[in-house]
Structures are given as C-alpha cells and as structure tokens.
Copies of this chain bind each other. A is one copy, B any other.
C-alpha cells in the first residue's frame, strides 16, 4: 500500500512529526537526529520522502547533514523554527508594510553607498538634478531614487527596487514644489558632500513629508 497522500505537502507532516519527536526525546541543537532510514520506518513513509523533507529543512538551515555521520539539529529556538517555516510554507498574503520597508531598505542603502564612494558622489548627474530643481523643472520622485540606485551599480538591487516600487502605495509621480523641492535639494547636496547622516536624515524627512501629504 502506497501512501500517495492527496493533501499537498507531505513534507509538512514530516516536519511536524519531527518537531514532536525532537520535543519528546529532548534533542537539543547540535544533537543527532534519527537516521533517514529510522525516520522512514517510524513515520511509515518512504526514505525518499523523508529525504525531501530533510532537504527542505536543510535549505532553511535548520539541520545539517554529514555523510557517513548523520543528520544534526542546527536550531535552538523552536518557536522561531515555526516562525521561519510559516513564512515560507504558508502562502501568506503579502504585507504591504513589508514591501514598503524593504523598498526603503534599498533606497537608504543606495544613499549610503554613494556617500561612501567618492567616484559615485562626483557623478555629474547629481549636479544636473539640483539644477533641474533650482529651475523648478519637471522632476519625478522616482527619477531621483532610480538615479541613485543606478549609480550604485548594483543591478540586482535595482531590479528588486523596480518590483517593490510597483507594489508600493507611495506616490512616485511628480514632485511638488516648495518644501519637498528643498528637501530633495538638501538630500542631493549632502550626498555630494558625502555626509551620510545628514543625507539619510534628509531622506527620512522627505519620506515623512510624502506620507503626510498622502494622508490628507
């Protein structure tokens, strides 16, 4: 009789069984867990199924396998095990806040990188942007940020940012004149000077300003 369980994700069941087993037998981090063959026997499943479950756990860094020796627990906080698993396993609806936070992570990282590398600070594009702002020219918010991330020369970060930007609720369109214009100009100047703290600070103010404007 073969199991061929219809309910998807047999590996979840195995992870669950493993958790109980670990708890019941007091297995601690670094300890050896039962061998694949024993697990298969105890859980009444095939060894290959056990292996697929273990492979998943290994990918998450929760266990470590050593050929000829065995499989070992590399985890110490069970509650966080559950936390991590739920993140990957459950198809949770995307949290808008996470998207925004992550987008800001990349934007700030770009600012920091530019401030810390002279040849990126001295790019003519910054002066160009400031000039545009001085003339009250048409400048889009996302242009500013995009130029920054492009300047960091990290294409992966740029790609991630593009995606996050699309999901973000933040209005990235045209900039408003007046205070926002000043804030961005200040940001760019600090950027050129390489003053990380002031640049980040100006960025924070900018974000705050945009959000405040958006709530009206």
Residues of A in contact with B (beta carbons under 8 Å apart) = 11, 29-30, 48, 51-52, 55-56, 59-61, 64, 74-77, 80-81, 83-85, 87-88, 92, 94-95, 98-99, 101-102, 105-106, 108-109, 125, 128, 132, 137-138, 140, 142-143, 146-147, 150, 154-160, 162-164, 166, 173
A150, B55: Cβ atoms closer than 8 Å: no
CA distance A70 to B213 in the complex (A): 28
A146, B61: Cβ atoms closer than 8 Å: yes
Give min CB distance, A62 to chain B, whole Å.
Answer: 10
A166, B59: Cβ atoms closer than 8 Å: yes
Task: Chain B residues near A146: list those with CB within 8 A.
Answer: 61, 84
B74, A158: Cβ atoms closer than 8 Å: no
- The chain B residue sitting closest to A165, CB to CB, is B61
Task: Chain B residues near A163: list those with CB within 8 A.
Answer: 80-81, 84
Q: Which of B75, B76, B92 contacts A132 (CB 8 A)?
A: B76
Task: Chain B residues near A83: list those with CB within 8 A.
Answer: 150
A59, B61: Cβ atoms closer than 8 Å: no
- The chain B residue sitting closest to A91, CB to CB, is B78
Count identical subunits in the complex.
2
- The chain B residue sitting closest to A155, CB to CB, is B87
- The chain B residue sitting closest to A75, CB to CB, is B143
Task: Chain B residues near A29: list those with CB within 8 A.
Answer: 138
A88, B159: Cβ atoms closer than 8 Å: yes
CA distance A187 to B112 in the complex (A): 20
Q: Which of B52, B80, B85 contacts A55 (CB 8 A)?
A: B52
Q: Which of B11, B75, B76, B140 contacts A128 (CB 8 A)?
A: B76
Q: Could you list 14 A-B pairs, sorted by A, with CB under 8 Å?
A: A51-B52, A59-B166, A74-B143, A75-B143, A76-B128, A76-B132, A77-B147, A84-B158, A84-B162, A88-B156, A88-B162, A99-B156, A101-B154, A105-B106
CA distance A210 to B7 in the complex (A): 44
Task: Chain B residues near A102: list those with CB within 8 A.
Answer: 154, 156-157, 160
